[in-house]
Chains A and B, each alone.
Chain A
């Protein structure tokens, strides 16, 4: 079945540091890939997505590129802020299945 593996956390960075959170996946078809962010006590918010190979999703300074050859969708940001502290979930969704498969989440803490 489908699966998503995320870099284990927690990740602690200083403000303005470069962020990478690794995500790899296994899927039977051609899934869409997503990054969601969850702030403390809240639900998940869609951060960015990519629907086919070589697509780059971007939002709020975050980027991730759909790499079919390495089955990866790593999340990056050039300069993190304290307000980026949250839990980040990588996910995939097969078009025909409808439901999504989530990674375990990576907790990011950014210190001033």
Chain B
């Protein structure tokens, strides 16, 4: 299957700092990337949908000024958690879709980034 990477895989930061998470599709051009948040033993919660070259579409209840998403190219999207607080601690997962591989409906997921805010 397609390969999607995330960096970093683990991050620990102090409250009030900003954290950037990168999501890259390594072997295909992703027209759309998705950002999810997953709490322990729960399903994925979609945070936002990002299309290359346009503003991200945020789900209801997700603060766009706190979770900044940039999709600058067909292979890279970034999520920046601004002024992180302990309640932002979670597992963040990105996925990429589009291109000839799998079509628009099939999402390929990154390995996730575990964020711990102290």
Interface residues of chain A, those whose CB is within 8 Å of chain B, are: 31-32, 34, 36, 41-46, 49, 51, 89, 93-95, 98-100, 102-105, 107
Contact = CB atoms under 8 A, between A and B. Distances in A.
A1 B32 CA distance: 21
B1 A51 contact: no
Nearest to A36: B109
B44 A102 contact: yes
Given A43-B111, A89-B43, A104-B43, A98 B49 contact: yes
Interface residues of B, number: 24
Chain B binding surface SS class = strand
A86 B111 CA distance: 15
A51 B105 contact: yes
Contact of B107 (A100, A105, A107): A100
A39 to B, nearest CB: 10
A102 B106 contact: no
Interface string B22-59: 00000000001010000001111010010000000000
Given A42-B111, A43-B111, A46-B1, A98 B32 contact: yes
B93 A99 contact: no
Contacts of A41: 112, 114
Interface string B84-118: 00000000010101000000111111111010000
B6 interface: yes
8 contacts: A34-B106, A41-B114, A43-B93, A43-B112, A44-B93, A46-B1, A46-B109, A100-B107
B106 A49 contact: yes
B112 A42 contact: yes
Contact of A95 (B42, B44, B104): B104
Given A43-B93, A44-B93, A89 B112 contact: no
A89 B105 contact: no
Given A43-B93, A46-B1, A95-B104, A105 B43 contact: yes
